[in-house]
Amino acid sequence: MSTPLLEARGLAVEIGGKQVCTNLHLEIHAGQRWALLGINGVGKTTLLHTLAGLRAPAAGQILLSGQAIDKLPRRQVARQLGLLLQEEGDAFPGTVLETALSGRHPHLGRWQWESAEDIALAERALAQVGLAGLASRQLGTLSGGERRRLSLATLLCQQPQLFLLDEPTNHLDPHQQITLLELLAAQTREETRGLLMILHDINLASRFCGRALLLFDDGETLHGPGEQVLTAEHIARLYGHPVITLDGPHGPVYLPA
Amino acid sequence: MAPRLTLGLLLLLAPASLLLALLSGSIDIGLGTLLDSGSEPLARTVLFELRLPRALAAFAVGGMLALAGALMQVLLRNPLADPYVLGISGGAAVAALLSMLAGLGGLLLAGNAFVGALVSMLLVFGLAHGRGAWTATRLLLTGVVVAAGWGALISLILALAPERGLHGMLFWLMGDLSHTPPPLWGLLACGIGLLLCLPLARDLNVLARGELAASALGVAVPRLRLLLYFIASLLTAAAVTIAGSIGFVGLVIPHLLRLLGLRDHRHLLPGCVLAGGSLLILADTLARSVAAPQQLPVGVITALLGVPLFLYLLNRRGGGL
């Protein structure tokens, strides 16, 4: 099998004395879509940032296309791996197009300016998330959902092979949730890209992600194909709340009991 | 207005303000004297040994302060940050006032002020670094508290100083360009500072969106923060050594230019040098001619000019900040 886009070997993650996970072995291959599920405060974001190489693990190794991520320059990491943060603050004003263009940052040389192609790429990304008409708007005038879609457009502009997404559907209405998850799914259908996203909606997770990684409160993890991992029994243990499953048009539908 | 057009106008503003500074003052000198090498020696002395060095020093100081301000605002990701917020000018002021108490002047005083600024820079850096993470908030709080400490020492020195020394001390504290060393060093420092920052300009655009976002977009944030801290601090130290702590330029010029559309740091940083330098030349020209022969501290003029100008732009744009 080919080299995974991202591989965690014996990964242990800790934050503030809490064990997020121990001895996690995970391989994300091109063409795969993973959902990362767990209760509030279990350490999903911490794990995601660790996988992105933004914080050091307590033990173990993370390999990006076979190379130790902590040995790679950040610029090279950013050309392969894109991260959608949960929230982004903006201390200074800027326009929508300028923000989307910042996704080109890792691809440009130190003295290089954004080319016409870069701008065309940013405009296409804005159109893909439905923000085409807002290119020259100031960030401060955007709604929460529009900002979320702008962050996603920035990420599309970055053109990474691996997308790590922290609650991409935050602030989005149901229509936008489905549209954007379909857009992300289409990105990985080319079989050269993969994604891992934190979701709170089990139904979206099972519909859009073939695989799931469950993060339990005691630091245990369970991962694999959705149909094996996303069982009513596992979900009930994950959230400490019983669920029932029904047959729906896209597969099982999960309902909190 | 397109950023490049704004930058072009600023490029014209700099020589225009320099010319104005050369031609105005208590001795009336016309454009002819400036161009004619055979003209009156007294006028030429005034022009080339008094007004020109002073105007060039003003340009260097204003440029460095505005540039340092823009860097500090991104480093601390706080629009209220200015070059003095981390206590560098406080350290310089304490050293300068102590030197005045000891009767030192000229280069010794300037040298001590520079050392004071460096001590403050390293002190804040060491304390903020300490153990644990070096966050923007931690750096800001450390700097603000150290600055408050310097402020107390300054008040103490002022309270204990003999009355005849007070006038000089107050002028130093408010910022004054009448006793500047030759401008070459300042201009050199300003130019080097700008050259060091320009290759970082796009990194700054991304850092302004947050440290995590910047890391995710490929910026080596810890290294960039170190560079920013030391470049901004050294620029501030150089500016304060030359002219005391002139307020307002470092806070307002970067915002003024952002309001004029220079949001991209590749435009903003050179714009800061040009606009900060030009504004300080104009302010200093006013400071020495408004109440001539009495000279006013230039820091008072920068604030008097800057406050209404800034408020006007802020309101015109309707809350872009």
CATH number of the domain where residue B312 is located? 1.10.3470.10
A40-49, B77-86, B187-196, B209-218, range with the lowest pLDDT: B77-86
> Considering chain B, what is the average pLDDT of its residues?
88
pLDDT in tens, A194-252: 999 999 999 999 999 999 999 999 889 999 999 999 999 999 999 999 999 998 888 88
Buried-state track B154-168, b at ≥16 Cβ within 10 A, e below 16: beebeeebeeeeeeb
Q: Is residue B26 included in any domain, yes or no? A: no
Q: Would the CB atoms of A106 and B218 count as touching at under 8 Å?
A: yes
Q: Does B312 score more than 70 pLDDT?
A: yes
Q: Does B320 score more than 60 pLDDT?
A: no
User: Residue A85 phi/psi, 5° resolution?
Assistant: -80, 160
Tell me the pLDDT band of B133, cut-offs 50, 70 and 90.
low
Q: Is residue B15 included in any domain, yes or no? A: no
Mean pLDDT, range B18-27, rounded to an integer? 85
pLDDT greater at residue B24 or residue A24: A24
Which residues, in sequence order, are CB contacts of B307 under 8 Å at separation 6+? Answer: B248
Q: Which one of A74, A79, A151, A154 would you mutate to disrupt binding with B, by most B Cβ within 10 Å of its Cβ? A: A74
Among B85, B93, B92, B90, CA closest to B68: B85
pLDDT greater at residue A87 or residue B257: B257
Whether the Cβ atoms of residue A214 and residue A38 lie closer than 8 Å to each other: yes
Mean pLDDT, range A131-160, rounded to an integer? 93
What residues of chain A lie within 8 A of the CB of B319, using their CB? 140
Long-range contacts of A58-61 (CB under 8 A, 24+ apart): A58/A12, A58/A13, A58/A14, A59/A10, A59/A11, A59/A12, A59/A22, A60/A8, A60/A9, A60/A10, A60/A11, A60/A12, A60/A23, A60/A24, A61/A8, A61/A9, A61/A10, A61/A11
Q: CA-CA-CA-CA torsion for A161, A167, A172, A173, nearest 10 degrees?
A: 110
Q: What is the CA radius of gyration of chain B?
A: 20
Whether the Cβ atoms of residue A157 and residue A122 lie closer than 8 Å to each other: yes
Question: Is A227 in CB contact (< 8 Å) with chain B?
Answer: no
Whether the Cβ atoms of residue A96 and residue A126 lie closer than 8 Å to each other: yes
Q: What is the rounded CA–CA span in Å between residue B87 and residue B140? A: 10
Q: Would the CB atoms of A79 and B218 count as touching at under 8 Å?
A: yes
Q: Is residue B211 included in any domain, yes or no? A: yes
ipTM of the complex: 0.91
Count of CB contacts below 8 A, A vs B?
82
B3-17, B142-156, B237-251, range with the lowest pLDDT: B237-251
Q: How far is residue B14 CA from its own chain's centroid?
A: 16
Q: Is residue B163 included in any domain, yes or no? A: yes
Q: Does B319 score more than 50 pLDDT?
A: no
- Residue B45, pLDDT score: 81
Q: Would the CB atoms of A91 and B320 count as touching at under 8 Å?
A: no
What DSSP designation does B242 have?
H
Q: Would the CB atoms of B216 and A54 count as touching at under 8 Å?
A: yes
What residues of chain B lie within 8 A of the CB of A92, using their CB? 73-74, 79, 208, 258, 263, 321
- Percent of chain B having pLDDT more than 70? 95
- Percent of chain A having pLDDT more than 70? 99
Q: What is the rounded CA–CA span in Å between residue B231 and residue B233? A: 5
Structure tokens at A100: 């989307």
What residues of chain B lie within 8 A of the CB of A148, using their CB? none
Whether the Cβ atoms of residue B157 and residue B167 lie closer than 8 Å to each other: no
- Residue B131, pLDDT score: 62
Q: What is the rounded CA–CA span in Å between residue B140 and residue B129? A: 12
From A54, A93, A108, residue closest to B263, measured CB to CB: A93
CA distance B200 to chain A (A): 8
Q: What is the rounded CA–CA span in Å between residue B317 and residue B314? A: 6
What residues of chain A lie within 8 A of the CB of B212, using their CB? 49, 54, 85
Mean pLDDT, range A114-129, rounded to an integer? 95
From A102, A110, A138, residue closest to B205, measured CB to CB: A102
Mean pLDDT, range B224-235, rounded to an integer? 93
Whether the Cβ atoms of residue A46 and residue A126 lie closer than 8 Å to each other: no
Q: Does B7 score more than 90 pLDDT?
A: yes
- Residue B104, pLDDT score: 83
Mean pLDDT, range B53-58, rounded to an integer? 94
- Residue B180, pLDDT score: 76
Structure tokens at A176: 């936008």
**What are the sequence ranges of the domains in chain A?**
6-91+159-256
| CATH number listed for the domain at residues A6-91+159-256 | 3.40.50.300
Q: Does B317 score more than 60 pLDDT?
A: no
Tell me the pLDDT band of B321, cut-offs 50, 70 and 90.
very low
- Residue B17, pLDDT score: 95
Q: How many CB atoms lie within 10 A of CB A21?
A: 26
Question: Is A78 in CB contact (< 8 Å) with chain B?
Answer: yes
Which residues, in sequence order, are CB contacts of B223 under 8 Å at separation 6+? Answer: none
| Count of structural domains within chain B | 1
Q: List the end-to-end C-alpha distance of chain A, in Å, as a whole number.
A: 41
Long-range contacts of B52-56 (CB under 8 A, 24+ apart): B52/B22, B53/B180, B53/B182, B53/B183, B54/B21, B54/B177, B54/B178, B54/B180, B54/B183, B54/B284, B55/B17, B55/B18, B55/B21, B55/B22, B55/B281, B55/B284, B55/B285, B56/B18, B56/B183, B56/B186, B56/B187
Mean pLDDT, range A93-117, rounded to an integer? 92
- Residue B195, pLDDT score: 97
Q: What is the rounded CA–CA span in Å between residue A182 and residue A185? A: 5
- Residue B130, pLDDT score: 66
What angle do the packed helices B106-129 and B88-101 form, to 10 degrees?
A: 140
Q: How far is residue A157 CA from its own chain's centroid?
A: 15
Domain that holds residue B142: 54-316
**B167 vs B92, B246, B287, CA distance in Å?**
18, 16, 16
Q: Is residue B197 included in any domain, yes or no? A: yes
